[in-house]
Structure 1
Amino acid sequence: MRRVVGAVVGLALGSSALAQGAPVACRGQPGVPAWAGPGVFWGTLGGGPVALRLGPGDDGERARYFYERRGVNITLVPTHQRETLLLREEVWTLSGTEVTGCLRLERAGTGLRGSWTSPDGKRTLPVTLAPLDVTRLPLNLPDSPGLRKLRASDPLAFLKLNRAWVKEAGGASVRESLSGIRYPRLPGGSAALDAALQDRQLVHAANALDCRARLAGAGEEAYVLSAEVTFRSPRLLSVFESAGYFCGGAHPDGFDVGLILDRATGREVPVTAIWPGLTPMRLRTLYLTRSGADGECREVLADPDLKLTAHLTPGGLALTPTSLPHVVTACADTVTLPFASLGDRANPQGTYFRDLYPR
C-alpha cells in the first residue's frame, strides 16, 4: 500500500475547482413525480450518447448519469415541479460541492425527453432517453460471476466495463482502457481461473471509476493499483494487490489484498486448507513474533482484532495487516513465514501439500 499511495497525493495539490457560476433554478418539491420509477435509460444529450439511472425511492436514490465519451458518473439530485422531473448535477471539488447543470425531463411514452441547461443559463441542449433493459445486453467479456453480479447491482458500471479489454505482455496482463486498471493473467490457464482474475479486475476498475466520479477533474492517478503474481505451482496461483486512492476527503488512503487461488477452479484457497492449524488468531501470534516491531507499532499490531491478508511467495506465507488506521499504516509491514517453519502444521493428505513440500 505504501508504494502506491504517494502517487495520488499530488491530486490533492494539483486539482482546481470548477469555474463558479450562478446556477439556474433547479429546485422543486422534494421527491420525484409519480411516473418517475426506477430504471436505466440510454439516449443523447446534445447529440452525444449518455446513460442515466434513476434509483428506487421518492428521493431517486442513486440517480446519476454519464457521458459515454468520458465514462465518469455525475451525481443527480432529484426534485420535481408538478410533472416535470428536475435533476440537479452536482460534483465535489476540493473547494466544495458545485452545481454543473440542470436536467428538466418529462415523460415521453416509456422514455424521457427534455433539456440540459448550464449553470449560468446561457446554454441549453436537447435530451432524449429511452428505457434500457441492461439484463438483456450481451456479455462482451468472458462470462463470470462478477460480471453478472455487476450487471445486476451497478448497471451503469456494467455499461462502461462490458467491452473488450486489451491484452498486454503476451497475455500475461490485461488493461481495462476506461479506468486504466491492469491485472495479471496466466496464459494457458483454466477458464475458471481467468474468470476469477477478471472479476478481481472488475472490482478495481469499478472502484477506480467511482473514485473519479467523487472528485471533479480526477484522472487515472486517483486510483492506482499494483497487482502481481507472487507464486505459481501446478495447483496454486497467488496474487498480491496494493491499491492507493484519493477520492476527496482529508488524505489519500489505500489497502492491500492477498489472494491464494486454485488454478483449476479459480476459487480462493483458505490458509487452513493448506495448514489446518493456522487460524486467524494463530496467524496474528506468528506475525507479531516475527515482525520485529517495537514502540507504538508493536502496540498497534498487538491488537487482538488485527486483521491480516495472506499470499504465497517463493519464500513462504506472507502476512500483511489490513485493518490499521490511516495514521499508523507505516506499521503495516509484510512478514513472511518460511514454508519449512510451517511444515509440521501442513496437512500431508491435503490437495496442495506437494505444491509446497515436494519430495
Structure 2
Amino acid sequence: MLKGLLRLAPYAVALFTLISTAHAEDVRRVFTGTLGKTPIVVEINTQNPDEVTGRYFYEKYHRDLPLSGSLQDGTLTLVEGNNRYSDDKPLPTLKLEETATGWQGEWQSPKGKKLSVQLSEARLPAPTTSTLPFIAALPNGEPYEYLRLQGLKLKPLKKQDFMGYTLQWWTEPESKISLFSVESGLPKDDLQRVNQQLLGRLWNEVIRYHGCQLQGGENVDFMQNADPKMISPAVVSLNISTSYYCGGAHPDFGDSPLNIDVRTGHPLSLEDVLWVGEGKPLLHAERDSLGDKPLSQAESDARYQYENKELVPWLIKQFTALYPAEMKKPTQDDDCDFTEESVWGSSPWYFTAKGLYLGAYFARVQRSCDRPDWSVLPYSLIKQHPGAVKLQLPQG
C-alpha cells in the first residue's frame, strides 16, 4: 500500500505513516492549555533537543501552526511558522519552561505583543459506544488528531439515488471534504459496517487535508471529489480523486479508491478480488488502510514481487487482447505507451457496472495519459481468476 501511495498521492505518504503505523517508541507528547485566554492543543517532539519540532492549533479554528526550535537547560524556545515559501520575515516565538504537569511561559508576536502560555499533559475524552472505530482508534497513536476531530462536525448535504440505493452526502465544512454514507438498500448490519468504513474514510481525508495545510503553509490547494462507482449486495466501490499542492515544486493529482466487502465491512485489496499468481492469494493485503494491522515486511515484499513479476505482465497481455488499438505501441516518444510495465504498477482500481477498472500512472510530463477510460477487465474474465474473498460479482 505504501508503494501505491508513493506513486498515486505523495501528499498522503507522511499521513499514511501518521495514521496507520503504531509508534513503538513515540516521543511526541500532546498538551492542552491556553495561549492568552484562547484554548489550544499542542504536539511537541523533543527527542532531538537541538531540533525540536511540533505543531499546534486553536480549538476554535483547528488549523495547524508549525513549531520548530530547541530545548536547552529546561527552556523550550520555539518559532511559530516558517519562511520556506516567502522572504525572511519576523515570526512569532514561544519561550516555555517545563513544569510538573507540562509547560508554561509566553508567546511573543513580531511586534512585541506578549501572551502567557499554560500547557498540561492532554487528557483525552473517552470514546463512546457511538464513536466511529476509526476515531476511537486515534487515541492510541494520534491523540493530537483525536482532539482535533472532537471539535469538528459533519454537515448533511443532498441525498442521491444510485443503482437503487439511497446515498446521504456529508461534508466537513472547514476542509470542505465530502463523502457519502449508504442510507438504504442494504440490511441494517451491512449498512452499519459499510458506513463505518465510509465515514472513517471521510475523517481520514480531513486529517490529510490538515496535513497538507501544515506542509504547504499559505500556498496550499486541496480539492477532492468522491464518486460512487458501484453498489451491490456484495461490494460498495467508490473513487476519491484529489488535486493538491502542499508545497514543493509542482501541484499534483491522484486517485485513491475505496472498495468495501459488504459482508464483513473490510476494505478489499485487488488480491482479494483478482489473483493471477501461483498458490493461495494474498489475503486482505490492504486491511491496514483504515488502521487495521499493517503488513509485515515479508508480506510487503511478497506483494511487490507478485505485482511486478506476475500481475503487471498479465494485465498488459489482457488489455492488449481486449483493446488492441489503445494498447498499440506508440510511434512517437511523447505518446501514451500503455505497453510499458511501470505505468500499471500499483494501479488504482474499483468496480464498475461493466467490470473491474484499473488505472494507469505516468510520469509528470505525460500525466495527461493517466486515467484512461477504457481499461476495464470484464467480470467474465475476473471470475476465471478469483481472489482471496468469495464475492458475488455481476454478470459480464
Offset of residue 86 of structure 1? 0.8
| Aligned residue in 1 for 2:363 | 325
Specify the alignment match of 1:227 in structure 2.
226
- Unpaired runs of 5+ in structure 2? 1-26, 160-166, 185-189, 278-309
Q: 1:153 to 1:284 in 2, by over 3 A?
A: farther
| Cα pair 2:135 2:146 within 8 Å, conserved | yes
Distance 1:342 1:263 in 2: 22
Change in 2 beyond 3 A, CA 1:56/1:321: farther
Find out whether 1:240 has 2:239 as its counterpart: yes
The yes-or-no answer on 1:286 pairing with 2:286 is no
What is the match of residue 168 of structure 1? 157
**Structure 1 residue 98: deviation in Å?**
5.0
Identity of aligned residues (%): 22
CA distances 1:280-323 after superposition (whole Å, capped 9, x unpaired): 2222433466344634344475134732111111122111124x
Structure 1 residue aligned with 2:306: none
The structural deviation recorded for 1:149 is 4.2
Aligned pair partner of 2:81 in 77, 82, 90: 90
Correspondence for 2:31: 41
Say if 1:44 and 1:244 are closer, same or farther in 2 by CA, change over 3 A. same
1:253-292 to structure 2, matched below 5 A, reads 253-277=252-276, 280-281=311-312, 282-287=314-319, 290=323, 291-292=326-327
Partner Cα distance (1:143, 1:99) in 2: 42
Number of residues paired by the alignment?
315
Q: CA RMSD in A?
A: 3.0
Q: How do 1:1-359 residues align onto structure 2 when only pairs under 5 Å count?
A: 38-59=28-49, 61-92=52-83, 94-95=85-86, 98-120=89-111, 122-134=112-124, 136-138=125-127, 142-144=131-133, 146-162=134-150, 163-170=152-159, 172-188=168-184, 189-218=190-219, 222-277=221-276, 280-281=311-312, 282-287=314-319, 290=323, 291-292=326-327, 294=330, 295=332, 296-299=334-337, 302-304=340-342, 306-307=344-345, 308-322=347-361, 324-334=362-372, 335-337=374-376, 339=378, 342=381, 345=384, 347=386, 351-353=390-392, 355-357=393-395
Which SS does the other structure have where 1:106 is aligned? strand
The answer for unaligned runs of 5 or more in structure 1 is: 1-36
Distance of aligned partners of 1:341 and 1:192 in 2 relative to their CA distance in 1, 3 Å threshold: closer
| Structure 1 contact 74–90 (Cα < 8 Å) conserved | yes
TM-score by length of 2: 0.70
Distance, in Å, in 2 between the alignment partners of 1:350 and 1:245 is: 34
TM-aligned CA distance change 1:326 to 1:274, over 3 Å:
same
Change (3 A) 1:280 1:113: same
**Length-normalised TM-score, structure 1:** 0.77
Q: 1: distance between equivalents of 2:146 and 2:217?
A: 22
User: Could you tell me which residue of structure 2 aligns to residue 14 of structure 1?
Assistant: none
After TM superposition, give the deviation of residue 153 of structure 1 in Å: 3.1
In 1, distance between residues paired with 2:129 and 2:63?
20
